Chains A and B, each alone.
Chain A
């Protein structure tokens, strides 16, 4: 393949000026990281590098990118894409005891990091410090299509390594480029950009001619939203759990993005309606995507679930439902699991089994839960998510978690923890409990009605922004 055919991330940085990437501490102009020709049209700003100009040494290598924060990760992605053979993104919660096997499985022979102490037992020749951009004389040329490696966010065991190409990662990004002279879109996400959902937003910002405002796990929500407002964020995404937290905080007032997206968990009608009320002028939609299957589809009609017509259409994203689970064959999907004992990513026909269970009601499919999250009540199957969707429909229920409780009679029964909305009248808790139970009894089979409902102040959310179900 000749270098001309390569379209690397940095090639998307010109020629619009005024684009930035920012976190809680810094605002970095993206133009300094652009290619020579793009910079020339912007008045020849000095070339900068976050790798001290050593990027060329990464040519053809398998690079582990392990940074303490997202800003350095994003800057390094721009500089390394098109140079390295492989780029493995370490998410913030990767356990050190999983590192060795991941380094081995991915054939890592270079580590780009600002945490040298974390890799003290690694050959120092393999270490490349990363820091905020500094002027340099020259920078590595892009000459190849880099394979992007991401880690799955499963709750137990060593994460799987999933291989993507930039073309597939950007497969759902179309026509977002601002017209000349139009305002620059400003993207933000509650996700970390080192995970699939966050990376999608980062790539939309970079490829779509926008700016990017990064999240910070340690930043209080009110400060985060104040920063989103100050940066003029126009496009933003997160999980339903992220959004419920924002709606609960009361911090959303005055924040007026024009594009709001949910993904990563089931978007129920209650959270979609809550967002419509909070952001009346915004386009609100939910998207289906996974690290393995890539971006499947977006639903923009304001309703939970998705039109049944999307199944079996063929085309770029071909979907089918087998044994209740959604299967996707797509150019946006990963091409393989990577590693010594890697399983097959797809079936013989090229479909990824997402493990997300769907149910057809009328002309629409509804997500009912994860296959491995099923609770067995005396031989009858229950998805916690379907119960949560009913509970969350109560106007005073902000979020909920249904889970299994061991039973000597039926093996398991279902119980639920519920977070009430701010300002809920504590003296009404018995009444609210009865209202929720009546609603569950009206809409769910008897074995799915929670045996007990407990009101809690908060529910844990994982680093990936999903409701924690570890003890479910």
Chain B
């Protein structure tokens, strides 16, 4: 499964656990509009760290937190393997 698909799957899993109804996950959807709160994002980032072996938001000291789903996925895709 690609990084993108794994991220989407993790988002859907957490949405189910947190009783969040997701809008369609398009690249230009702002993270705010997903309905996720900071706790849900914290869980997402921790699970992706276990799944993908990286946490791009802790690695880079100056990392700006992404604004859209597309930015979020690219943060993982751009981490050097």
Contact = CB atoms under 8 A, between A and B. Distances in A.
**A and B bind:** yes
A201 B56 CA distance: 53
Interface residues of A, number: 16
Contacts of B50: 452
A451 interface: yes
Interface residues of B, number: 16
A413 B45 CA distance: 10
B52 interface: no
Interface in A355-412: 377-378, 405-410
Contact of A408 (B18, B47, B58): B58
B78 interface: no
Contacts of A299: none
A408 B38 contact: no
B58 A413 contact: no
A407 B17 CA distance: 19
Max count, chain B CB within 10 A of own CB: residue among A409, A441, A446: A409
Given A378-B38, A378-B39, A407 B46 contact: yes
Contacts of A377: 39, 42
A interface, over-half SS: mixed
B45 A437 contact: no
A408 B45 contact: yes
Contact of B58 (A406, A446, A447): A406
A413 B46 CA distance: 8
Interface string A428-472: 000000000100010000110001100000000000000000000
Interface string B28-68: 00000000001101110111001000010110000101000
B18 A409 contact: no
A409 B17 contact: no
Nearest to A411: B42
B interface, over-half SS: helix
A78 interface: no
B47 A407 contact: no
Nearest to A407: B42
Contact of B42 (A378, A437, A441): A378
Given A378-B42, A451-B42, A409 B47 contact: no
A41 to B, nearest CB: 69
Contact of A407 (B18, B45, B63): B45
B42 A413 contact: yes
A437 B43 CA distance: 14
A264 B68 CA distance: 49
Max count, chain A CB within 10 A of own CB: residue among B38, B39, B50, B55: B39
A446 B45 CA distance: 17
A88 interface: no
B31 to A, nearest CB: 11
Interface of A: 377-378, 405-410, 413, 415, 437, 441, 446-447, 451-452
Interface of B: 17-18, 38-39, 41-43, 45-47, 50, 55, 57-58, 63, 65
29 contacts: A377-B39, A378-B38, A378-B39, A406-B58, A407-B42, A407-B45, A407-B46, A408-B42, A408-B55, A408-B63, A409-B41, A409-B45, A409-B57, A410-B38, A410-B39, A413-B42, A413-B43, A413-B46, A437-B17, A441-B17, A446-B39, A447-B39, A451-B43, A451-B46, A451-B47, A452-B43, A452-B46, A452-B47, A452-B50
Given A406-B58, A409-B38, A415-B46, 20 more contacts: A378-B38, A378-B39, A405-B46, A407-B45, A407-B46, A408-B57, A408-B63, A409-B65, A410-B38, A410-B42, A413-B39, A413-B43, A413-B46, A441-B17, A446-B39, A451-B42, A451-B47, A452-B43, A452-B46, A452-B47
